[in-house]
């Protein structure tokens, strides 16, 4: 059981290294992330999530948008609460 | 340090006015493009079940990057499963990276640096990290996003109502569409005082 888990983690780490090496070789000059940290977040789970994110992009699961909030109604910041 | 925020807010005030909130992240894009080191910024929604990663910015080299330091474009990508407040905040934070990561050593462009950044992002806030410019930029961009979407000007105007208990952090977070976590933090007296001092001359609302 422990051996299998260690093997999974090694595979995951290798997949992360290989995929992001290719990302940088492909012309990426900088990459940054916004991370909202859960209490149990580990380096391994963060890398796993970053890899999932990258693989979703690789799979074309991407929609280009012009806005995240254009349609949001606005009010005067001091108007009645 | 906060001249960047003041400058962006001044332009936003002229173009759209600052009294009306929420201040829109999407409307900040052209101001960042004018000042930043990427020619164009594109926003992309990614179909992925995010748990902790609420956005990322990926910048690409152009043909002249090696000489000019200017990059061709940046993709700010965010998962579709997060709420509006967190998405706006995360995208705004990533946008600031297109302005403030000016130097080569501010950037993460190789695997070793990416792995180091993931370690520091997970480490406890109190951990002494030593100097690693990309991590410092992460923290700076987060602060700039907060100071842009819930500016000192507005917080000072609302502070008496907060202090008297007439206004809750939840109400403010709802109106400004900023995560309540950051709203609460932004009104801490020591933080608010420091930001007021750093901003210098404030914009008249």
**pLDDT at residue B130 is higher than 90:** no
What's the ipTM?
Answer: 0.91
On whether the CB atoms of residues B146 and B182 are closer than 8 A, the answer is yes
Distance separating alpha carbons of residues A46 and A35, to the nearest angstrom: 9
Residue B48 near residue B79, CB atoms below 8 Å: yes
pLDDT at residue B79, as a whole number: 98
**Strand pairing class (B20-21; B71-79):** unpaired
- Which pLDDT does position B16 carry in this prediction? 97
In the predicted structure, residue B65 carries a pLDDT above the cut 90: no
Task: Give yes or no for residue B26 having a pLDDT over 90.
Answer: yes
Give the pairing type, strands B53-61 and B38-46. unpaired
Given a contact cutoff of 8 angstroms between Cβ atoms, the answer to whether A61 and B79 are in contact is no
pLDDT for position B70: 73
pLDDT of residue B40: 94
pLDDT score of B20: 97
pLDDT at A55: 96
Nearest Cα residue in chain A from B175: A77
Q: Are the Cβ atoms of B118 and A63 closer than 8 angstroms?
A: no
- Judge contact between B19 and B175, C-beta under 8 A: no
* Percentage of chain B exceeding pLDDT 90: 86
What span, in angstroms and rounded, lies between the C-alpha atoms of B137 and B205? 29
pLDDT greater than 70 at residue B122:
yes
Confidence check: pLDDT of B67 > 70: no
B111: nearest CA partner in chain A:
A21
Cα distance between residue B35 and residue A54, in whole Å:
28
Q: Write the CB contacts of B198 (distance below 8 Å, at least 6 apart in sequence).
A: B1, B2
Structure tokens at A79: 């108007």
Q: Who wins on pLDDT, B152 or B69?
A: B152
Q: What's this model's pTM, rounded to 2 decimal places?
A: 0.93
The whole-angstrom separation of Cα B205 and Cα B191 is: 21
Is residue A15 within 8 A of residue A51, CB to CB? The reply is yes
- pLDDT tier for residue B63 given thresholds of 50, 70 and 90: low
- Where are the extended beta strands (E) located within chain A? 28-35, 62-65, 75-76
B122–A37 C-beta distance less than 8 A: yes
Output the CA–CA distances (angstroms, integers) from residue B67 to A7, A29, B62, B103, in the order listed.
44, 13, 10, 13
CB B98 within 8 A of CB B74: yes
Q: What average pLDDT does the segment B3-29 reach?
A: 97
Q: Name the closest residue on chain B to residue A68, using Cα atoms.
A: B26
3-state class (DSSP) for residue B92: helix
Q: Which residues of A touch B171 (CB under 8 A)?
A: 81
């Amino acid at each position: 059981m422990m051996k299998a888990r260690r093997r999974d983690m090694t595979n995951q780490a290798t997949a992360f290294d290989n995929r992001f090496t290719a990302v940088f070789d492909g012309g990426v000059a900088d990459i940054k992330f916004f991370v909202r940290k859960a209490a149990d977040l580990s380096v391994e789970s963060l890398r796993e999530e970053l890899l999932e994110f990258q693989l979703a992009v690789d799979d074309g699961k991407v929609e280009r948008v012009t806005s995240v909030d254009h349609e949001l109604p606005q009010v005067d910041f001091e108007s009645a609460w | 340090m906060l001249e960047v925020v003041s400058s962006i807010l001044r332009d936003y005030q002229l173009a759209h006015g600052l009294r009306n909130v929420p201040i829109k992240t999407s409307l900040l894009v052209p101001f960042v493009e004018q000042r930043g080191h990427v020619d164009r910024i594109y926003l992309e929604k990614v179909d992925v079940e995010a748990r902790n990663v609420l956005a990322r910015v990926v910048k690409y080299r152009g043909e002249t990057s090696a000489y000019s330091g200017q990059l061709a474009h940046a993709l700010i990508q965010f998962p579709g499963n997060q709420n509006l407040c967190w998405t706006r905040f995360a995208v705004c934070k990533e946008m600031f990276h297109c302005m403030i990561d000016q130097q080569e050593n501010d950037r993460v462009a190789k695997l070793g640096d990416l792995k180091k950044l993931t370690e520091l992002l997970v480490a406890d806030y109190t951990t002494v990290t030593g100097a690693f410019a990309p991590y410092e930029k992460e923290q700076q961009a987060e602060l700039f996003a907060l100071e842009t979407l819930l500016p000192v000007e507005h917080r000072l105007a609302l502070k008496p109502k907060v202090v008297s208990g007439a206004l809750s952090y939840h109400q403010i977070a709802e109106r400004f569409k900023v995560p309540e976590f950051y709203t609460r933090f932004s009104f801490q007296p020591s933080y608010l005082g420091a930001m007021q001092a750093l901003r210098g001359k404030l914009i008249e609302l």
